[in-house]
Chain A
Amino acid sequence: MKDTSHINALENEAVYIFREVAAQFEKPVLLFSGGKDSITLVRLAQKAFWPAKIPFPLMHIDTGHNFPETIEFRDRLVEELGLELIVRSVQDSIDQGKVKEESGRYSSRNSLQTTTLLDAIDEFKFDACIGGARRDEEKARAKERIFSVRDDFGQWDERSQRPELFDMLNGQIELGQNVRVFPISNWTELDVWSYIKEEEIEIPSIYFAHKRKVFLRDGLIWSHSDYVYQEEDEEVLERMVRFRTVGDMSCTAAVFSEASDIESVVAEIRDSTISERGARIDDKRSEAAMEKRKQQGYF
């Protein structure tokens, strides 16, 4: 029999973090978007607790503007693994009058998710929310801790974060506070894709090249859809595209690609000169877009 030395250092680290969450918190939840990062998290959680089941539920904050492929995928995964799935929807927050739908050219439900998320945390009294954010994604996220404490209002105080030394994670909090946990903090986009390839993890089909009706705006490729605001003079084209990052349809831009399998996707990411977040419309709003959203409780 072999030894464990070939196991990826990042995988060992993530498994360790998952076990710390299960041991230190009473009501953890895994925030699941149906994107590749949260799918990777589910695989890592399976590994951390095998042969026991993952000891916490998944939660999807549903903007209602999803790619249908993502939702199908989500439901199948949950069913296959016998996991509990909680869905809370932005539409409900709008109906309750807590948030207002944005309007106009750049309208999106992406930032509205924060209210729905904070309400759900309150409803279920979650004390730890596990997310797939990575430090390499964005400058404000580069400053994020692995255990990141949020106050009663879900806010991130970037100026007074707890230092994290060696492997020791301090999850002590007061009632009402919660911790956002990022087990793949130290992974890069390429690390995630390489892992998906090695582990043969199934991901939604929109990550691979497919024909789609799109239109061009500000140098980005937008999906033609009822959920996405489109000017009359913005011409609909049919092109081979794929998505590098998957959020809500209104905030995720596609890339032109012929990469139809995981090998060619990994090769494409390795040679790419554009960052993953370069295709996120939500980050283009301003240089500090992510920092502002995080302060308000975005994950």
Chain B
Amino acid sequence: MEVLKIATAGSVDDGKSTLIGRLLYDTKSLTTDKLEAIEKRSKKNGYDYLDFSLATDGLVAEREQGITIDVAHIYFSTKKKSYIIADTPGHVEYTRNMVTGASTSQAAIILIDARKGVIEQTNRHFFINNLLRVKEVIVAINKMDLVEFSEERYNGIKADFEQLMAKRDYEDQKITFIPVSALKGDNVVNRSQSMTWYKGETLLEHLEGLDLAAVSNVGTPRFPVQYVIRPKTDEHHDFRGFAGKVYGGELSVGDEVVALPSQTRSKIKEIYFHDKKYQTASRRSSVTITLEDEINLSRGDMLVKAGDLPTIDKQFTATISWMDSENLIPGKKYVVQHGVNKVLAKVATINHKIHPDYSGIDEKADSLGMNDIAEVTFKLNKPIFYDQFKKHRTNGSFILIDMQSNNTVGAGFIGR
């Protein structure tokens, strides 16, 4: 079964949770006991309709305040696909949550309140999905019931959004507009009776039709070594397997490979998944590879195809999204976790802050606060093997870890 991960983005009260609840309800994914809990709670809150947001808001504080605090993962499936939706909240730590949700998703739904139209936050939502190179974006213009299902209103919002699209950096992104009412159920799963002027697909129809191979980002194969398997048993005395996940492309038995950082050459001898041998390791498979020659490789090292080397450097410039309440300042040291490889990094310079509104105005900055996005240059204590994020979504990204709190304080995308 195919699995599609979707991130949602919207401001407070745009109806994200309601939309997800509606998807679950109309696909009959809500079980009787969950539905009963929603009915009970809706009544308790004094609503005369079913509050589907209660299907996703999991924490006590969220239900009490009627807001979403933390990223929640929601699962449902149809006969065609399994879906995982990251419900990302739209306030205080909005950028952090949105970047996190988008990083693991192949598709994104951006919600717009039809009464408000394109607002400043919409810029940010689109900018982040563009920055993270999410291939498939659905703009759901919600609350159409509150603007009398007006086609004119819908077209006006669509035109405003298209102005943003002209400024985007990642042009391969596919964008689809759908007018919906999550509360009433128009064009989510079932076709709207009130908007017969809309001839396109409903939200679910659109998701069902997405080709997973086409929405995935493909690059060149990279194999970061996660773990070395040496059983040292009689049966497998000389076995030395390199365990890891294949990113970007495929690797096959017989491929000539280069081990980094040593730059030693060898050939792939065997590819295992559990006790079975395979000719080819596909993208995103967690395999174990053995090599023709005895070479020294440990966690954090990388196997790549000969003639297809990444950049090997002790410094890089990246766009980073800052996620901590403590500021990032030049000169401070952090741990850079690049895939499974960890190195020490020093902030060399904050080049400029980026306004996520596509205004094009970049601002000088002495430090970065929570939710800031900026271009930063780092110096490392030893070289890493990276690609530009534009070319390789996995090998071009990293997280920053605070050396004292051990928290993940930022995420970065290598390249200007």
The residue of chain B having its C-beta at the shortest distance from the C-beta of A174 within the complex is B406
Contacting A at CB under 8 A, from B7-63, are 31-34, 37, 41, 56-61, 63
CA distance A287 to B277 in the complex (A): 48
Is B58 within 8 A of A190, CB to CB? no
Interface centre among A5, A50, A165, A190 (most CB of B within 10 A): A165
Is B77 within 8 A of A188, CB to CB? yes
Q: Is A76 an interface residue (CB 8 A)?
A: no
Contacting B at CB under 8 A, from A213-248, are none
The residue of chain B having its C-beta at the shortest distance from the C-beta of A172 within the complex is B406
Other-chain residue from A16, A22, A143, A287 in contact with B245 (beta carbon distance below 8 A)? A16
Is A291 within 8 A of B60, CB to CB? yes
The residue of chain B having its C-beta at the shortest distance from the C-beta of A9 within the complex is B3
The residue of chain A having its C-beta at the shortest distance from the C-beta of B278 within the complex is A4
Would A173 and B406 be within 8 Å (CB), given that A20-B340, A51-B231, A135-B73 are in contact? yes
- Nearest CB of chain A from residue B85's CB, rounded to whole Å: 10
Is B280 within 8 A of A143, CB to CB? no
CB neighbours (8 Å) of B72 from chain A are: 139, 142-143
CB neighbours (8 Å) of B41 from chain A are: 287
Q: Is A46 an interface residue (CB 8 A)?
A: yes
CB neighbours (8 Å) of B82 from chain A are: 188, 191
Is A142 within 8 A of B272, CB to CB? no
CA distance A165 to B343 in the complex (A): 18
Is A142 within 8 A of B73, CB to CB? yes
Q: Is B116 an interface residue (CB 8 A)?
A: no
Is B243 within 8 A of A48, CB to CB? yes
Other-chain residue from B34, B231, B244, B253 in contact with A52 (beta carbon distance below 8 A)? B231
Contacting A at CB under 8 A, from B312-367, are 323, 335, 337, 339-340
- Nearest CB of chain A from residue B226's CB, rounded to whole Å: 5
Is A50 within 8 A of B274, CB to CB? yes
Is A275 within 8 A of B33, CB to CB? yes
Is B58 within 8 A of A142, CB to CB? yes
Q: Which of B92-100, B160-168, B179-187, B189-197 is near enough to bind chain A?
A: B92-100
CA distance A172 to B32 in the complex (A): 41
Q: Which of B107-115, B135-143, B203-211, B284-292 is near enough to bind chain A?
A: B284-292
Is A167 within 8 A of B31, CB to CB? no
Q: Is B414 an interface residue (CB 8 A)?
A: no
Q: Is B394 an interface residue (CB 8 A)?
A: yes
Interface string of B379-416 (1 = CB under 8 A from A): 00000000000000110011101000011100100000
CB neighbours (8 Å) of B335 from chain A are: 172
CB neighbours (8 Å) of B74 from chain A are: 142
Is B275 within 8 A of A3, CB to CB? no
Is A135 within 8 A of B226, CB to CB? no
Would A1 and B278 be within 8 Å (CB), given that A188-B75, A273-B32 are in contact? yes
The residue of chain B having its C-beta at the shortest distance from the C-beta of A290 within the complex is B58
Interface string of A267-286 (1 = CB under 8 A from B): 00000111101100000000
Sorting the interface of chain A by its residue count into under 10, 10 to 19, 20 to 34 or 35 or more gives 35 or more
Is A4 within 8 A of B31, CB to CB? no
- Nearest CB of chain B from residue A148's CB, rounded to whole Å: 12
Contacting A at CB under 8 A, from B89-132, are 96-97, 99-100, 103-104
Would A190 and B229 be within 8 Å (CB), given that A2-B278, A23-B299, A165-B103 are in contact? no
CA distance A50 to B270 in the complex (A): 14
CB neighbours (8 Å) of B58 from chain A are: 138-143, 291
CA distance A43 to B323 in the complex (A): 36
CB neighbours (8 Å) of A139 from chain B are: 56-59, 72
Is B233 within 8 A of A4, CB to CB? no
CB neighbours (8 Å) of B73 from chain A are: 135, 142, 185-186
Interface centre among B32, B96, B340 (most CB of A within 10 A): B340
Interface string of A164-206 (1 = CB under 8 A from B): 1111101011100000000001101011000000000000000
Is B275 within 8 A of A4, CB to CB? no
Would A168 and B339 be within 8 Å (CB), given that A140-B58, A163-B100, A287-B41 are in contact? yes
The residue of chain A having its C-beta at the shortest distance from the C-beta of B75 within the complex is A136
Other-chain residue from B63, B273, B401 in contact with A47 (beta carbon distance below 8 A)? B273
CB neighbours (8 Å) of B233 from chain A are: 51-52
CB neighbours (8 Å) of A287 from chain B are: 37, 41, 63
Interface centre among A15, A139, A275 (most CB of B within 10 A): A139
Is A51 within 8 A of B406, CB to CB? no
Interface string of A110-141 (1 = CB under 8 A from B): 00000000000000000000000001101111
CB neighbours (8 Å) of B3 from chain A are: 9-10, 186
Q: Is A264 an interface residue (CB 8 A)?
A: no
CA distance A9 to B82 in the complex (A): 11
Is B104 within 8 A of A3, CB to CB? no
Q: Is B173 an interface residue (CB 8 A)?
A: no
The residue of chain B having its C-beta at the shortest distance from the C-beta of A141 within the complex is B58
- Nearest CB of chain A from residue B387's CB, rounded to whole Å: 14
Q: Is B84 an interface residue (CB 8 A)?
A: yes
Q: Is A105 an interface residue (CB 8 A)?
A: no
Is A278 within 8 A of B60, CB to CB? no
CA distance A19 to B243 in the complex (A): 8
CA distance A273 to B34 in the complex (A): 10
Q: Is B71 an interface residue (CB 8 A)?
A: yes
CB neighbours (8 Å) of B271 from chain A are: 4
Is B227 within 8 A of A22, CB to CB? yes
CB neighbours (8 Å) of A163 from chain B are: 71, 96-97, 99-100, 323, 408, 411
Is B227 within 8 A of A23, CB to CB? yes
Is B59 within 8 A of A275, CB to CB? no
Is B286 within 8 A of A48, CB to CB? yes
- Nearest CB of chain A from residue B390's CB, rounded to whole Å: 15
A-B contact pairs, 24 of them (CB 8 A): A1-B253, A5-B282, A9-B284, A12-B245, A12-B286, A22-B227, A23-B226, A47-B274, A49-B229, A49-B243, A51-B233, A53-B231, A143-B58, A165-B103, A165-B397, A165-B399, A185-B73, A186-B84, A188-B77, A272-B31, A275-B34, A277-B33, A278-B32, A278-B33
Besides A4-B280, A51-B236, A140-B59, 16 other A-B contacts (C-beta < 8 A): A7-B273, A20-B340, A23-B299, A50-B272, A50-B274, A51-B241, A139-B59, A142-B58, A142-B72, A143-B70, A158-B59, A163-B408, A170-B399, A172-B406, A188-B77, A278-B31
8 smallest CB-CB distances across A and B, nearest first, come from A139-B58, A1-B279, A3-B280, A278-B33, A15-B286, A52-B231, A5-B282, A172-B406
